[in-house]
Amino acid sequence: MEKKELSHLNYIYQRNTSQNVENTAKTKVIDMEYQSNIKKIDKEYRSKINMIIGEGSVFLIILLVVTFKMNHSLQRENRVHLQQKNFLLSITHELRSPIASSKVALQTLTKRKDLPRDKVDMLLCNSINDMDRLHALVENLLLAAKIDGHSFQIRKDACNLSEITNSSISKINETYEGSRIFEADIKPDIFVVGDRMALTSVITNLVENAVKYSVDASTINVSLCEQGKDVVFKIADNGFGIPDKEKKKIFHKFYRLGQEETRQTKGTGLGLYIVYRILSLHKGKVIVRDNKPKGSIFEVVIPKSI
Which residues here bind ligand ADP, judged by CB under 6 A? 205, 209-210, 213, 237, 239-240, 242, 250, 255-257, 262, 267-273, 296
Measured from the CB atom, the residue of 105 and 137 that comes closer to ligand ADP is 137
Nearest-CA neighbor of 205 among 157, 146, 139, 252?
139
Measured from the CB atom, the residue of 194 and 295 that comes closer to ligand ADP is 295
Shortest Å, Cβ 154 to ligand ADP: 20
Measured from the CB atom, the residue of 164 and 254 that comes closer to ligand ADP is 254
Measured from the CB atom, the residue of 69 and 294 that comes closer to ligand ADP is 294
Measured from the CB atom, the residue of 132 and 157 that comes closer to ligand ADP is 132
Shortest Å, Cβ 252 to ligand ADP: 8
Which run of H or E residues covers position 162? helix 161-175
Cα–Cα distance measured from residue 153 to residue 149, given in angstroms and rounded to the nearest whole number: 11
Shortest Å, Cβ 260 to ligand ADP: 11
Measured from the CB atom, the residue of 105 and 241 that comes closer to ligand ADP is 241
User: CA angle, 244 as apex, 239 and 246 as ends, to 5°?
Assistant: 85
For the stretch 89-97, contacts whose Cβ atoms lie closer than 8 Å and that sit 24 or more positions apart, written own/partner, are 90/256, 90/266, 90/267, 90/268, 90/269, 91/137, 91/141, 91/268, 93/266, 94/133, 94/137, 94/266, 94/267, 94/268, 95/134, 95/137, 97/266
Pairing of strands 157-160, 181-186: unpaired
Shortest Å, Cβ 303 to ligand ADP: 23
Pairing of strands 230-236, 285-290: unpaired
Shortest Å, Cβ 86 to ligand ADP: 9
Pairing of strands 157-160, 191-194: antiparallel
Shortest Å, Cβ 97 to ligand ADP: 14
Measured from the CB atom, the residue of 98 and 271 that comes closer to ligand ADP is 271
Measured from the CB atom, the residue of 69 and 146 that comes closer to ligand ADP is 146
Burial group, residue 38, by CB count within 10 angstroms (0-12, 13-18, 19+): exposed
Question: Amino acid identity, residue 138?
Answer: V
DSSP E strands: which ranges in 108-151? none
Shortest Å, Cβ 267 to ligand ADP: 3
- SS3 assignment, position 169: helix
Shortest Å, Cβ 278 to ligand ADP: 12
Starting from the edge strand earliest in sequence, which strands make up the sheet with 296-303, in order? 181-186, 219-227, 230-236, 296-303, 285-290
DSSP character at residue 271: H
The total number of residues shown for the chain amounts to 306
